[in-house]
Amino acid sequence: MKYGYVRVGAGVPEVRVADPQFNVEEIEKLVLKAQAHGVEILVTPELGLTGYTCQDLFFQQTLIEEAEVAMMKLMDFTRSMDMIIVVGMPVACNTALLNCAVVLQKGKILGIVAKNYLSNQKECNEKRWFSSIQDMPNAKVWLCGELVEISRYQIFNTPSCCFAIEIGQDLWAPQAPSVNLALMGADIILNLAADTSLAGKDEFIRNLVGTQSARCLAGYVYAGAGFGESSTDLVFSGLALVSENGNMLAENLPFGMGQQLVTSEIDVEYIKNERRSNKIFSDAVKTMEQVECQHTDTDMMVRHNLELTRSYSAHPFIPSTKDALDKRAEEVYNIQTLGLAKRLKHTGCKSVVLGISGGLDSTLALLVVVGTYDRLGLNRKDIIGVTMPGFGTTDRTYTNAIAMMKQLGITIREVSIKEACIQHFNDIGHNIGKHDVTYENSQARERTQILMDIANQVNGMVVGTGDLSELALGWATYNGDHMSMYSVNGSVPKTLVRHIVAWYAEVQKSSATREILKDVIDTPISPELIPAHENGEIKQKTEDLVGPYELHDFFLYHVLRNGFRPSKIYMIARKTFNDSTYDDTTIKKWLSVFYRRFFNQQFKRSCLPDGPKVGTCGLSPRGDWRMPSDAVATSWLKECDNL
């Protein structure tokens, strides 16, 4: 299946100023290259048939006519091609000259879009040669033997997407045409550009393109003029970009001397889903400026078998660079501490109680509580850390829990749950040798009761430790570790928890604390509810039971953030993970487990305690995720079975 992807290309051919015949041959070479890459829509630079820097030669009839002859040659060259090609050229219209984008397919002109906002910069005053389409409504011209309307706003409808065009400095306008075009239904915006290169300008354009694609919830393809333009006073870097909703999918290395082509796949299905769920966008549609827009249908071939060239992050919740990751960790930590600080001030609680197991989640929760107390100027001794050894507690986690609490200077309480659980098993007639769900959940609920009762003793509140990934899988005991009075980790995915703890360890002045935290990070994830091996090592490893958290976080992100269907998630997971860790069978197995647990365990998420939201994905029933507890996963699991 195609899954809504459209392969686009931003091409930068070499040009010769005022030589349309040479330029069209270079464009033809680029078209063949794009065709070989499976490009469905190709955009080339502004005024690419003549060159952007012709200056007063634009007044010469020879140049205008030669550009038209070159266009006829390109039309003939593309007669048997399904690809849509967008080329820039000057078009004479009555007594004016317009800077235009001509859209071609199968040897025919589908439409012509003219530039709205002309540059009047000292180094390149377009108003000397061109007129704005705003001054010429309802313009029509004969071009290459066809009578064609020239539009200010035009949307081209294909079976795969709707695309539209703005030219060069149109993007720089306070009210860029792309805003209205997106609100009128354009999924992808193409920009034929010829921005001059100045120190730092390419980076500015990257940011501008990325920001505009995010504002418009659209794909944005930018092709800038490059090598061969006149260097009398200016240089053009040939910047080519493909962006999707603020995410830069592909870009070239500017200042190249040869022909360049940048390709990627824009996910139109994702864009449409974003627009459906973003009510700001739909409200803007209702209040948008009413402008006349021409719609043109095309018969672009739908390619069902598309091999993706774009990549997806294996860890979508984790930034790709160390600096960005450290910044993200600090940001999340600050959100957590600020949220807890408000809750403490509001309730007047002076004490906080939390269970410390020596695992990652409780460690992060403890670090957040400590940071909150420091921000509020409170005494850390009013933080009650409770370690509750049970049947599966290992020496490693117990030792780390005690050592960490001592290093952080909080009050330590130890309450063994063994005798209480044994008494409980006797009371309900449960065989202690039967290590089933009753055996495990009794321990989790006993621990929660202890924490709640101690909180009552000290007039405090229980801070929960469970994370977002556990909530997605329902990997929590209902009314056990599932419940607290405030949950600081509830929207932090497991893959990010580890990195926040690692960041905290790095910024610590205490080497002893740093070493403890490093060992916590290296400890296998486990609820420790089953007795350990004879050698004292953890026997019950969470990821052996429910699957790798990096896979589940990958699934979770694309389910919550993008609304992708199982087969699409499977497809991109295979592309992302198959070269490294997980084969097809493993991915399929855990994807099915994810959907089964995600649906079956919704009832636990329907009554979650309060907690701060730290990212775009969350499962709070009060805002982020509203799902009936009785919803069935039949359709999703059926699709998983057919993978």
Query: Quick one: pLDDT at residue 122?
Result: 61
Per-residue pLDDT reduced to its tens digit, 380-409: 999 999 999 999 999 999 999 999 999 999
Q: Amino acid letter at 508?
A: Q
**pLDDT exceeds 60 at position 1:** no
Average pLDDT over residues 503-512: 91
Residue 179 lies in a domain: yes
Helices (H), 78-147: none
Residue 316 lies in a domain: no
Query: Quick one: pLDDT at residue 581?
Result: 83
Residue by residue, DSSP assigns 606-638 as: TTPPP----SS----TTTT----TT---HHHHH
Buried b (16+ CB within 10 A) or exposed e, 76-111: ebbeebebbbbbbbbbbbeeebbbbbbbbbbeebbb
Q: Do residue 542 and residue 577 come from a single domain?
A: yes
Query: Quick one: pLDDT at residue 198?
Result: 81
d(CA 605, CA 618): 11
Q: How many domains does the chain have?
A: 2
Per-residue pLDDT reduced to its tens digit, 217-246: 999 999 999 988 887 878 888 999 999 999
C-alpha angle 620/622/623, rounded to 5°?
80
Stretch among 174-183, 193-202, 314-323, 332-341 having the lowest mean pLDDT: 193-202
Query: Quick one: pLDDT at residue 123?
Result: 64
Q: Do residue 141 and residue 82 come from a single domain?
A: yes
Q: Do residue 467 and residue 511 come from a single domain?
A: yes
**pLDDT exceeds 80 at position 456:** yes
Residue 313 lies in a domain: no
CB-based contacts of 276-279 (< 8 A; 24+ apart in sequence): 277/563, 278/217
Q: Which domain holds residue 443?
A: 322-641
Per-residue pLDDT reduced to its tens digit, 257-306: 889 999 999 999 999 999 998 889 988 888 887 788 888 888 776 666 77
Helices (H), 377-467: 395-408, 418-428, 437-457
Phi, psi of 214 (to 5 degrees): -75, -45
Locate tokens 């012509």: which residue?
112
d(CA 561, CA 73): 46
* Contact in structure between 554 and 573 (CB atoms under 8 Å): yes
Per-residue pLDDT reduced to its tens digit, 580-633: 789 999 999 999 999 999 999 999 999 999 999 999 999 999 988 999 999 999
Query: Quick one: pLDDT at residue 536?
Result: 66
* Contact in structure between 271 and 42 (CB atoms under 8 Å): no
Phi, psi of 141 (to 5 degrees): -140, 155
Instruction: Single out the residue of 574, 548, 546, 569 nearest to residue 559, CA to CA.
Output: 569
- Whole-angstrom CA distances from 559 to 229, 565, 618, 633 are 47, 8, 11, 13
- Mean pLDDT comparison of 116-125, 307-316, 527-536, highest-scoring range: 307-316
* Contact in structure between 331 and 464 (CB atoms under 8 Å): no
Q: Give the end-to-end CA distance of the chain in Å, rounded to a whole number.
A: 12
Q: Do residue 280 and residue 359 come from a single domain?
A: no
Quick one: tokens of 8?
A: 């686009």
**Beta-carbon contacts of residue 112 (< 8 Å; ≥ 6 apart):** 91, 100, 101, 102, 103, 141, 143, 148, 149, 150, 151
Q: Do residue 341 and residue 285 come from a single domain?
A: no
Q: How confident is the model at residue 432 (pLDDT cuts 50, 70, 90)?
A: very high
Query: Quick one: pLDDT at residue 51?
Result: 94
Domain final residue, candidates 297, 331, 365: 297
Q: Work out the mean pLDDT of the chain and round it to a whole number.
A: 93
d(CA 71, CA 21): 9
Average pLDDT over residues 507-513: 89
Predicted TM-score (pTM) of this structure: 0.89
Domain final residue, candidates 297, 314, 346: 297
Query: Quick one: pLDDT at residue 578?
Result: 79
**pLDDT exceeds 80 at position 539:** no
Q: Do residue 410 and residue 284 come from a single domain?
A: no
**Per-residue DSSP letter, 100:** E
* Contact in structure between 187 and 162 (CB atoms under 8 Å): yes
Residue 372: count other Cβ atoms within 10 Å of its Cβ.
23
Quick one: tokens of 496?
A: 């990010």
**pLDDT exceeds 70 at position 87:** yes
Residue 50: count other Cβ atoms within 10 Å of its Cβ.
24
**pLDDT exceeds 80 at position 533:** no
Q: How confident is the model at residue 199 (pLDDT cuts 50, 70, 90)?
A: confident
Q: Do residue 204 and residue 130 come from a single domain?
A: yes
Q: Do residue 424 and residue 489 come from a single domain?
A: yes
Helices (H), 37-116: 61-77
Average pLDDT over residues 463-471: 96
* Contact in structure between 193 and 164 (CB atoms under 8 Å): no
Query: Quick one: pLDDT at residue 247?
Result: 95
Residue 157 lies in a domain: yes
Query: Quick one: pLDDT at residue 349?
Result: 93
Q: Do residue 418 and residue 493 come from a single domain?
A: yes
Angle between helices 494-507 and 549-560 (to 10 degrees): 110
Q: Do residue 371 and residue 276 come from a single domain?
A: no
Q: How confident is the model at residue 109 (pLDDT cuts 50, 70, 90)?
A: very high
Classify 17 as helix, strand or coil.
coil
Its sign, for the CA torsion 46, 48, 227, 233, is negative
Q: Do residue 400 and residue 292 come from a single domain?
A: no
**Beta-carbon contacts of residue 439 (< 8 Å; ≥ 6 apart):** 425, 430, 432, 529
Classify 123 as helix, strand or coil.
coil
Query: Quick one: pLDDT at residue 256?
Result: 82
Query: Quick one: pLDDT at residue 7?
Result: 96
* Contact in structure between 282 and 275 (CB atoms under 8 Å): yes
d(CA 391, CA 393): 6
Query: Quick one: pLDDT at residue 303?
Result: 67
Classify 412 as helix, strand or coil.
strand
Q: Do residue 407 and residue 537 come from a single domain?
A: yes
H/E element, 109:
strand 108-114
Residue 419 lies in a domain: yes
Residue 579 lies in a domain: yes
Per-residue pLDDT reduced to its tens digit, 556-579: 999 999 999 999 999 999 999 976
Residue 312 lies in a domain: no
Average pLDDT over residues 135-146: 85
Average pLDDT over residues 43-72: 95
**pLDDT exceeds 90 at position 493:** yes
Phi, psi of 185 (to 5 degrees): 120, 0
Query: Quick one: pLDDT at residue 302?
Result: 64
d(CA 610, CA 488): 8
Residue 90 lies in a domain: yes
Question: What is the radius of gyration, based on Cα positions, of the chain?
Answer: 31
Edge to edge, what strands does the sheet with 162-167 contain? 247-251, 240-244, 219-224, 188-193, 162-167, 154-157, 294-297
Per-residue pLDDT reduced to its tens digit, 371-387: 999 999 999 999 999 99
* Residues forming beta bridges with residue 248, ordered by sequence position: 243
Average pLDDT over residues 470-481: 95
Query: Quick one: pLDDT at residue 250?
Result: 96
Classify 264 as helix, strand or coil.
strand
CATH classification at residue 263? 3.60.110.10
Instruction: Single out the residue of 15, 92, 74 nearest to residue 50, CA to CA.
Output: 15
CB-based contacts of 581-589 (< 8 A; 24+ apart in sequence): 581/548, 582/548, 582/551, 587/551, 588/640, 588/643, 589/547
Classify 280 as helix, strand or coil.
helix
Quick one: tokens of 55?
A: 């200056």
* Residues forming beta bridges with residue 383, ordered by sequence position: 352
Its sign, for the CA torsion 419, 424, 426, 429, is negative
CATH classification at residue 614? 3.40.50.620
Quick one: tokens of 293?
A: 């827009």
